[in-house]
Amino acid sequence: MAGNTFGTLFKVMTFGESHGVAIGGVLDGCPAGINLDLEAIQSDLDRRKPGQSAIVTQRKEPDSVEFYSGIFEGKTTGTPIGFAIHNTNQKSHDYSHIKDSYRPSHADYVYDQKYGFRDYRGGGRSSARETASRVVAGAIAKQFLKDIKINAYVSQVGNLSLTTSYKDLDFSLIESNAVRCPDPEMALKMENYIKEIRKEGDTIGGIITCVVQNVPIGLGEPAFDKLHAELGKAMLSINAVKGFEYGSGFEGVKMKGSAHNDQFNPDGTTKTNHSGGVQGGISNGMDIYFNIAFKPVATVIQGYETIDKEGNMVATQGKGRHDPCVVPRAVPIVEAMTALVLADYTLLNRTIKL
């Protein structure tokens, strides 16, 4: 329970630091007999990888995944799937600016306090590089889920907010631009804004919206393990996330019950969907949708003062090639975590009734 496992039945354990030999994981509990499309897995990794466009970090890493077990003649065997992504971009950097001092709003300080020391080459285990392993596991979960459709997209960058309802968007446009916003006009504005921010040597936050469609009724548990609670945890476990809301979310607190209640149609669907597809912690068959808030990346290419291990103030400066805005690359991570949660509950739901 040192926190590197996710899921109960469809369960992944990940390992790896940003500057170690490799990152990877083991996916246990994936049912036998799934025809795995390995290219689809690599494709999701490519959507996450650095260097893919002008608005993300220009670090080059192929992030190609090797599978070690659990797949035979193209199919999952029901046994654990071991995989690794070797780190290829770990040249002997100069780490002196971070080895003995603590970058603000990074985990450097708490790691030293918690563990007694840390792997100071980059973010170590707290690097977002860890999420590549999640993307691999999530891409397998997507293939298991099959008919359930998961689409995430960028809906806000700084103050630029896409207010169109997801129902009026064409999800096929998400991958048509570097920002991963399905509204091409807004996407262009966001892209230009991010470029501007980068020129300033600064960073900016954003929001990702995720929509899940064709969800069967009955996924989720009544008390602690409500479907949206597990989705919330999954999203909040992604680096830089500061908030999660589903359905009517924070705006819903201003509504009266008479307006908020989702009235039924005769077939059990509802006329509105303020509930966001989850009722009492259990999916009701309507679309599940939620928003995830990402803070601005902590590494800014500007000079600043910070403290060293002895508590002395030292002047330093961000270095290296960093993302000016994290949300474009985080879209496949959000999808992956969503898929992992739904895969777990899909298996669990098989055990509920006599």
Report how far apart, in Å, the C-alpha atoms of 270 and of each of 133, 279, 286 are: 37, 11, 8
Question: Rule CB under 8 A: is residue 51 a binding residue for a copy of itself?
Answer: no
Segment 131 to 160, residues that bind a copy of itself, using CB under 8 A: 144, 156, 158-159
| DSSP three-state, residue 213 | strand
Alpha-carbon torsion, ordered 338, 341, 344, 347, to 10 deg: -60
Nearest residue to 187 (alpha-carbon basis) of 150, 162, 152: 162
- Whose Cβ is closer to a copy of itself: residue 74's or residue 184's? 74
Angle at 207 between CA 202 and CA 208, to 5 degrees: 125
The C-alpha atoms of residue 138 and residue 141 are separated, in whole angstroms, by: 5
- Whose Cβ is closer to a copy of itself: residue 44's or residue 245's? 245
Residue with tokens 């509105």: 272
Among 14, 57, 151, 209, binds a copy of itself (CB under 8 A): 14
Which region, judged by CB under 8 A, interacts with a copy of itself, from 48-56, 68-76, 164-172, 177-185? Answer: 68-76
40 belongs to an annotated ligand binding site: no
- Phi and psi dihedrals of 66, rounded to 5? -110, 135
Q: How many residues does the chain have?
A: 354
- Whose Cβ is closer to a copy of itself: residue 172's or residue 253's? 253
- Minimum CB distance to a copy of itself, residue 139 (Å): 17
- Whose Cβ is closer to a copy of itself: residue 173's or residue 298's? 298
Segment 244 to 283, residues that bind a copy of itself, using CB under 8 A: 244-250, 252-258, 260-268, 270, 274-276, 279-283
Question: Rule CB under 8 A: is residue 95 a binding residue for a copy of itself?
Answer: no
Question: Rule CB under 8 A: is residue 92 a binding residue for a copy of itself?
Answer: no
Residue ranges at the known binding site: 48, 125-127, 239-240, 280, 295-299, 321
